[in-house]
Structure 1
Amino acid sequence: MIESKKELISEKEWIKHINSLKTSKKTTKTELKKQIINAVKKRIPKKRFGIFFSGGVDSSLIALICKQLKADFICYAVGLENAADIEAARKAAKLLNVKLRFKIFDLKEMEKIIKSTTEIVGPDVMKVGVGSVVYAAAELAKKDKIKVFFSGLGSEEIFAGYERHVAVDDVNKECWKGLKDMYQRDFLRDYLIARSLGIDILTPFLDSDLIKTAMQIPGKEKLNKDYKKLILRKIAEEIGLAKEISWRPKKAAQYGSKFDRAILRLARRNGFKYKRNYLMKFFPLGALVSSGKDSVYAMYKMIKQGYKINCIISMKSKNPDSFMFHTPGIEMVKLQSKAFG
């Protein structure tokens, strides 16, 4: 439902779709387990595919189901030296007896990955941190000619895997809100990376039937004082996932891979105090200005928010009387450019 004919649906369509899945019906753990397996099964492609693999419950459960269904796949893990996700992925792959390819990146390699990711998704630190993991894993898979990948995206929202789920009274209400927020936070990032690299990302935890079923589970069954995603971990064990994998604590991709640490180290090495300022050097911005108050104020607001404007862009019509262009103000733009430095 995220894509229609390979194009990302609009945010309005996504929110409408999520609202349509709400129901007052109740379900069982058995039905939820069935829907999890089916959500993976229906997406398995005919050709060999990849799994973005961290050794956590989400990606490991996907790998286990794919193995049980005798699918042809390779797991991929990336990170810096001593990254928690690399170690967890190696242990999980051994327990599952699945093929794993992993790569440990140095800072020189990371700068290229970070630069490429920033050019695709923009200079947002969180988006670059998470997106770099996807980008690096997809690049690692190139030699295997893998272009389709399973991702665990969505599990945190439907099974209450974030700290914010602990802090609210109505867990499922927060889950619904999180699902809607995924469009801006996750979909745009992953869609842009996928389109840039020519890959497809499959998200079984965002299957419509699975969302509907998972959201019929009471919030109190999704977490307790010790664990988040409680019911998913129990189901994972029932399906056959080892206990040490099923109950491994969640670590966000950018932290488990240490890619966020790489951004910080590179920022400091390049003389930047903040990670965002470092990323901005890979994302030159121009401001389209007509000399009028609206475009000048918009540029001013961008500067106040910390964006560096590299140049001012204006258009001069061949027809000086055109109503489509603010031709009389073109000379003023030159003066405004000097004033802004």
Structure 2
Amino acid sequence: MQTKELTEILEKAVARSAENEKEVAIAFSGGLDSATIAKIGMQKFGAKLIAMGVEGSHDLAAAREAADELGLPLYEVVLDERKILQDYEVCYKMMPGTLTDVELMVGAYECCKKAQELGCKIILFGSGAEENFIGYQKYYNRFSKGEDLQKILNKEIETLPSRDLKRTCAIAGHFGIKAAFPFMDKELVKEVASVPVEKRMGTVEMKKPLLRKIAKSLGVPKCAYERPKKAMQYGSDIHRILLRHAKAKNIEFWDARAPFVYE
């Protein structure tokens, strides 16, 4: 499978996810995944980039830089401790889980809320990029042990809709909108899986080389396609603030989520 063919399939995936809406929100961190969706989306619909995080956080700074290079307006949600703690309580009541489960919901909560305010019916998330393009360190760890990584990735992708995506969709539904995930498009998943895992693996610092190559070919800003992965809860500073208040707010931070929760 050539990069050009995968690029065309990803373009179709983004278009399908938008469902012919004229204006579509994109949860935007300024990183590889969201910037790639944004670059494709801006040619197909009115892309509304939504970034959230604590002022001074990695994600807000990265989103501002990437949005500026894309030439797209950025709709910011600047979080503070009070808002993060309030959102955590709302999300936990909606769907209890580990700290990792719920802090991811907090980020989605603020993005979906802003999307609704902007009048968008659909918001796109980059979920699925790590599983398809091998972006998590846990995959490298398993591969180094000689395990069948593609079999593991298949299971990750198969169960993702009942895990993180289920939570994101619940949040979107709470605001009367729909969450969509271009990287989970069936055609894209199938074709990416046909690429040997060795060709999808990069260095520890720069994972997902195949997606970076696709992004570069699309004209995604260099600041985005060369940016190392930083998970949303860390890049936005949500995790740091929740840990600080964990004891007082009875946040069950000691229940760490297992790397492979279905095992």
Q: Which residue of 2 aligns with 1:18?
A: none
Q: Which residue of 2 aligns with 1:255?
A: 234
Q: Which residue of 1 aligns with 2:260?
A: none
Residue of structure 1 aligned with 2:212, choices 219, 224, 233? 233
The amino acid of 2:42's aligned partner reads: K
Match status 1:219 vs 2:197: yes
Match status 1:183 vs 2:157: no
Alpha-carbon separation, structure 2, partners of 1:271 and 1:215: 42
Q: Which residue of 2 aligns with 1:83?
A: 57
Q: Which residue of 1 aligns with 2:252?
A: 276
Aligned residues: 249
Q: Which residue of 2 aligns with 1:137?
A: 111
Alpha-carbon separation, structure 2, partners of 1:46 and 1:141: 13
Alpha-carbon separation, structure 1, partners of 2:111 and 2:63: 13
| Greater alpha carbon shift after TM alignment, 44-53 vs 90-99 | 44-53
The amino acid of 1:51's aligned partner reads: I
User: After superposition, where does 1:1-341 map in structure 2 within 5 Å?
Assistant: 27-44=1-18, 45-69=20-44, 71-167=45-141, 168=143, 169=146, 170-225=148-203, 226-268=205-247, 270=248, 272=250, 275-276=251-252
- The Cα shift of 1:277 comes to 7.0
The amino acid of 1:249's aligned partner reads: P
| Aligned 8 A contact 1:107 1:266 in 2 | no
TM-score, normalised by the number of residues in structure 1: 0.69
- The Cα shift of 1:28 comes to 2.3
Calculate the aligned-residue CA RMSD, in Å. 1.9
Larger radius of gyration: 1
Alpha-carbon separation, structure 2, partners of 1:234 and 1:91: 20
More RCO (CA 8 Å, sep 6+): 2
| Greater alpha carbon shift after TM alignment, 232-241 vs 195-204 | 195-204
Alpha-carbon separation, structure 2, partners of 1:203 and 1:232: 16
4+ residue runs over 3 A deviation:
none
- The Cα shift of 1:278 comes to 11
Q: Which stretches in structure 2 are left out of the alignment for 5+ residues?
A: 256-263
Alpha-carbon separation, structure 2, partners of 1:97 and 1:104: 21
Q: Which stretches in structure 1 are left out of the alignment for 5+ residues?
A: 1-26, 280-341
Distance 1:211 1:67, change over 3 A: same
TM-score, normalised by the number of residues in structure 2: 0.88
| Aligned 8 A contact 1:149 1:201 in 2 | yes
The amino acid of 1:258's aligned partner reads: D
- The Cα shift of 1:271 comes to 6.6
- The Cα shift of 1:266 comes to 2.4
- The CA deviation string for residues 277-329 of structure 1, in whole angstroms up to 9 with x for no partner, is 799xxxxxxxxxxxxxxxxxxxxxxxxxxxxxxxxxxxxxxxxxxxxxxxxxx
- The Cα shift of 1:209 comes to 0.5
